[in-house]
Structure 1
């Protein structure tokens, strides 16, 4: 089985992916973790690294090509990342959403900093990513029509969302 879990920063995709990974024994591949580790390697914060990625398509292409290759050559994995649903041809595709204020509150909780600073960073990062995705792949990140299931993480906690996804997995047919 190939599962993609996508969403904007702070929506809960990584947390839910880890729960599902453990529940089903699936390997998890996270584009966000790759992006964050690359930012650290370049000794930049996420906003700076996002700005660099805007001028250097090779950064996104490296991350996305790796996900595409994994999606097309392996089974029993979760691809977690903003474009994962677009990178995998045959998969159960899930989008986890939440309002920006809630997502920023979660980001502050895990990374610290002030709400206002994180809000500005998050809005800037999302605008940067939307521009890159549109320019590089002609993808409108706000178009959720490629997803089989869209879940609002403001309405349910991570375990309830994992239960909803489990129901979808247990009843999924890729015919």
Structure 2
């Protein structure tokens, strides 16, 4: 068995959001958590691919269209927010992953996680992807600008996240174990309250 694979189930009904920049390790963590929690997870990338299929466009074509107007970004975010609303009332374990997942889920989320790593580490992690280093940097700046323009969101505002983890400091398994410990030790009866999440009007 791989040392990166979860070795035990997590008994929880928490709705979790996972966010972070490209190469932060979000997909790896979400896959591990979903397996251990026995629950589904949805990512912004999943929704992007769904919209591309619906419009019979390639991912590159849809990306180009997204750069031209706010239509695609808003469609993705509206779907993610609808999913958050549905699962926020379900009292079942669920994971929502996107750069804005913590914002879009708002008070519906039980635990909000932000993952990050130094830029050189993140670049090394995505070197086998189609996206180049320059494209990644441009995308991060472009997305931050769009979030601010569309929703008045400052992506660097992170005080409402419950966990902020530098994934470069631990192995994939180590990051998972940190989050698993947080989930297993969480007790709503001793929870003194999360930071308020600013509302997002889409």
Deviations 1:52-82 (A, max 9, x none): 3243212111111111111111232100110
- Across the two proteins, how many residue pairs are aligned to each other? 168
Aligned partner of 1:2 among 15, 23, 30: 15
8 A Cα contact 2:49 2:59, kept in partner: no
Structure 1 residue 27 corresponds to structure 2 residue 40: yes
Aligned equivalents of 2:79, 2:171: Cα separation in 1: 30
Q: How does 1:89-108 map to 2 (within 5 A)?
A: 89-91=107-109, 92-108=111-127
Structure 1 residue 66 corresponds to structure 2 residue 66: no
| Offset, 1:38 | 4.8
8 A Cα contact 1:35 1:63, kept in partner: yes
Deviations 1:116-150 (A, max 9, x none): xx110100000111011111111111121121000
Aligned equivalents of 2:43, 2:66: Cα separation in 1: 18
25-34 or 2-11, larger mean C-alpha shift: 25-34
Aligned equivalents of 2:125, 2:184: Cα separation in 1: 29
Structure 2 gaps, min length 5: 1-13, 192-202
Aligned equivalents of 1:62, 1:73: Cα separation in 2: 17
Aligned equivalents of 1:15, 1:103: Cα separation in 2: 13
Question: Over the residues paired in the alignment, what is the CA RMSD in angstroms?
Answer: 2.1
Residue 97 of structure 2 corresponds to 80
Aligned equivalents of 1:57, 1:112: Cα separation in 2: 24
More helix by share: 1
8 A Cα contact 2:24 2:167, kept in partner: yes
Aligned partner of 1:126 among 132, 140, 161: 140
| Offset, 1:112 | 5.5
Residue 176 of structure 2 corresponds to 162
SS at match of 2:127: helix
SS at match of 2:182: helix
